[in-house]
Chains A and B, each alone.
Chain A
Amino acid sequence: MRRLFLLVLIAAGIAAQLPGQLLQLRITGLDGLAAKAKESVDITLDSNLLQMAGGFLAGNGKDKDGKDLKAVLAGLKAITVRSFEFNEAGQYRIEDLEPIRAQLRTPGWSKIVSSQKKDEISEIYTRIEQGKVVGFAIISAEPKELAVIAIEGSIDLNDLSKLGGLGVPAIAIPDQGKKGKKE
């Protein structure tokens, strides 16, 4: 009986973990690229680290940027960034992105921006659950640059644009009829 109870408990634990794992985009197939890249960025921040980062930056700086950043991070559960910059073209194949793009074709994800040229891809996907954006992903592939970004949670682009003091470029938000609003 005790063993059965333990099994039920473990199963419940696994079930509780499942939605998070399903949502989380697994960035695979890019492992060998860092060695070929001139510069590479590999960032994985889970909710604990994001909370710590927000607390540190807001508490340490005690300035507006730190508080704005904390507000942006508060809406996030995880950030994963893999970015590579190469000296020359041809260091990766578009097919290397297929495992990631295949995940983004599963139900729940919607492609909202797609721009594809011969050797360039720019795609933005969002994941919507119960009418709320719960994550988004960006794939940006250029001959000498490749970036895959997965963000779990939601970001207000207006809030992100407030982080100019931290070197975050302002997002050029399309005009939505709010004339006179700064980009």
Chain B
Amino acid sequence: MNLDDELRAALRREDPSPGFAQRVVARAKSKPAPRSWFPKMMWATALAAMLVIGFGAMSEYRENQAERAGREAVLALRITAEKLNSARDKVIRREN
């Protein structure tokens, strides 16, 4: 048998065995459903991660805000004290 004959034999059209379609459908139906806990677990983990990140970011924001407010409060009091002293000096100079 030459190569042409071998190829022709190998690639010849052949009908499936009887009941092939039914067997395929039956196997597809019997395939186990994907496990349902995995997506739930994934969502729970994502939610927990989001909460942790959210609380962390909020906490850091509040700390930064407090630190900035603290610096501004000190600066405001410093300017206030300087201007009070300056006003006092001017009044004393005027009286003298």
Residues of A within 8 A of B (CB): 41, 43, 45, 49-50, 52-57, 60, 69, 72-73, 79, 81, 83, 113, 115, 120, 122-124, 138, 140, 147, 149, 151, 155, 157, 160-161, 163, 166-172, 174
Using CB atoms and an 8 Å cutoff, list the residues of chain B in contact with chain A.
62-63, 65-67, 69-70, 72-88, 90-91, 94
Q: A60 vs B78: C-alpha distance in the bound complex, in angstroms? A: 20
CB <8 Å contact, A73 and B73? yes
Pair A149/B83 contact, Cβ less than 8 Å: yes
* Minimum CB–CB distance for B89 against chain A, Å: 8
Q: Are B81 and A168 in contact (CB under 8 A)?
A: yes
* Closest A residue to B91 using CB positions: A115
Of B69, B78, B86, which one neighbours A52 at CB under 8 angstroms? B69
Alpha-carbon distance A166/B65, docked complex (angstroms): 19
Select A166's contact among B74, B86, B88, beta carbons within 8 Å. Answer: B74
Q: Contacting B66 at CB < 8 Å: which of A41, A55, A140, A147?
A: A55
CA distance A174 to B89 in the complex (A): 11
Docked complex Cα distance between A73 and B73 (Å): 8
Interface of A is mostly: mixed
User: Would A151 and B63 count as touching, CB distance under 8 A?
Assistant: no
Q: Report how far A43 CA is from B81 CA in the complex, Å.
A: 15
Complex Cα spacing A73 to B86, Å: 22
- Sample of 14 more A-B contacts, CB < 8 Å, known A79-B80, A122-B91, A138-B80: A41-B75, A45-B73, A69-B73, A81-B80, A83-B79, A147-B79, A149-B76, A149-B79, A149-B80, A161-B81, A168-B78, A169-B78, A171-B85, A172-B88
**Cβ of B67: which chain A residues have Cβ within 8 Å of it?**
56, 60
Cα distance, A169 to B67, chains bound together (Å) = 21
- Bound Cα distance A120, B91 (Å): 12
How far apart are A76's CB and chain B's nearest CB, in angstroms? Answer: 9
Contacts A138-B84, A169-B85, A172-B85 given; indicate if A53 touches B77 (C-beta within 8 A). no
The 4 closest A-B pairs by CB, nearest first: A56-B66, A53-B69, A52-B66, A122-B87
- Which chain B residues border A123 with CB–CB below 8 Å? 87
Interface contact A49-B80, CB-CB below 8 Å: no
Cβ–Cβ < 8 Å partners of B90 in chain A: 115, 120, 122
B87 touches A138 (CB 8 A): yes
- Say how far A149's CB is from chain B's closest CB, in angstroms: 5
Which of A41, A55, A72, A168: most chain B CB closer than 10 A?
A: A168
Which residues in B have their C-beta under 8 angstroms from that of A83?
Answer: 79
